[in-house]
Amino acid sequence: MNAKEIIARRVALEMQDGDVVNLGIGLPTMVANYLPEGISVILQSENGFVGLCSVGATPDDNLVNAGGQHCGIQLGGATFDSAMSFSLIRGGHVDVTVLGGLQVDQYGNLANWMVPGKMVPGMGGAMDLVTGAKKVIVAMEHCAKDGTAKILKECTLPLTGKGKVNVLVTELGVFRVAPEGLVLEEIAPGVEVENIVAKTEATLIISPDLKTMQNLT
């Protein structure tokens, strides 16, 4: 099982039946494929949908999600313009948003939209989502491609949102942002706490009830 699948499987456990969920571009779109039995969510997309099917399920050549992937729409789903879409987001009607991240820090700050000096397509709806959603989950690989830490004491890239992250899931563990700091609550099978600490710049609080990550089989 690769890192992205581990992350997506674990993030899926954060969903509650009936949640309105926005899944960001890339890894987050995989989450809908691993929802536990009995959990059904309503997928919302910034480009004007509620009730999207998961990626790969009965795609319609005439429909794409916010990431440009072909997708289907469930019976009872709806399409609308961007004004309505962002009214839902900004109005607090999205229960959960799952986004990728370039950096997250121990204060719950998120940087996920640009690296200075690099060409980027734009912010998209990320700033609106982290402000309007009731729960913000960041799903990202633990380290950058060059091995440097992405979980920092303080973000160095331009922020998407300040103090907005609730839960962070990587292939190594599950972290929750609490008033006292970043708490390591779950650890991937076969991974040692020392290994996570070594790959993390942020100061971690190790939960006394540290568990093994679930939904990985």
Q: How many CB atoms lie within 10 A of CB 28?
A: 24
Domain 3-212, CATH = 3.40.1080.10
Looking at residues 174-198, what average pLDDT do you find?
A: 96
Model pLDDT for residues 86-126, shown as the tens digit of each residue: 999 999 999 999 999 999 999 999 999 876 666 666 677 89
Alpha-carbon gap, residue 120 to 19, rounded angstroms: 31
**Residues with catalytic annotation?**
46
| pLDDT score of 119 | 64
Give the model's confidence band at 171: pLDDT under 50 very low, under 70 low, under 90 confident, else very high.
Answer: very high
Looking at residues 129-158, what average pLDDT do you find?
A: 96
Q: How many CB atoms lie within 10 A of CB 75?
A: 5
> Torsion angle of alpha carbons 205, 5, 141, 108, nearest 10°?
-50
42: phi > 0 → left, psi -120 to 50 → alpha, else beta; which?
A: beta
Calculate what percentage of the chain has a pLDDT beyond 70. Answer: 95
Global pTM reads 0.94
Average pLDDT, the chain: 92
| Structure tokens, 14 | 């954060």
| pLDDT score of 66 | 82
Alpha-carbon gap, residue 56 to 66, rounded angstroms: 15
Residue type, 85: S
Alpha-carbon gap, residue 215 to 109, rounded angstroms: 27
